[in-house]
């Protein structure tokens, strides 16, 4: 799933900006690149829930999810 689709799934730039505490223009810029790692960690559980498991924390962070969310092991 690309960044633009993830942002739309999470409710758009304004909602994502509020969730992670950044400006709306910053989130808008992510649509042309990637969501920064630290912000994606914050959004991952919500993204997993909003996508009904289509996007999982394990799939977003296949090498590090156990360190971030040990309960997923």
Report the distance separating Cα 31 and Cα 51, nearest Å.
Answer: 18
Radius of gyration, CA atoms only, the chain: 12
Domain total in the chain: 1
Tell me the residue length of the chain.
73
Residue 42 belongs to domain with CATH number = 1.10.260
Report the distance separating Cα 26 and Cα 71, nearest Å.
Answer: 31
Report the distance separating Cα 64 and Cα 33, nearest Å.
Answer: 21
Digit-by-digit pLDDT tens for the chain (73 residues) are 899 999 999 999 999 999 999 999 999 999 999 999 999 999 999 999 999 999 999 999 999 999 999 999 8
Per the structure, the complete domain to which residue 56 belongs is given by: 3-72
Q: For 30-43, write each residue's pLDDT tens digit.
A: 999 999 999 999 99
């Amino acid at each position: 799933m690309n960044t633009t689709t993830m942002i739309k799934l999470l409710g758009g730039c304004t909602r994502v900006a509020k969730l992670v505490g950044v400006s709306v223009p910053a989130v808008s810029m992510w649509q042309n690149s990637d969501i920064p790692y630290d912000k994606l960690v914050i959004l991952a559980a919500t993204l997993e829930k909003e996508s009904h498991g289509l996007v999982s924390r394990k799939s977003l962070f296949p090498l590090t999810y156990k360190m971030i969310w040990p309960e997923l092991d």
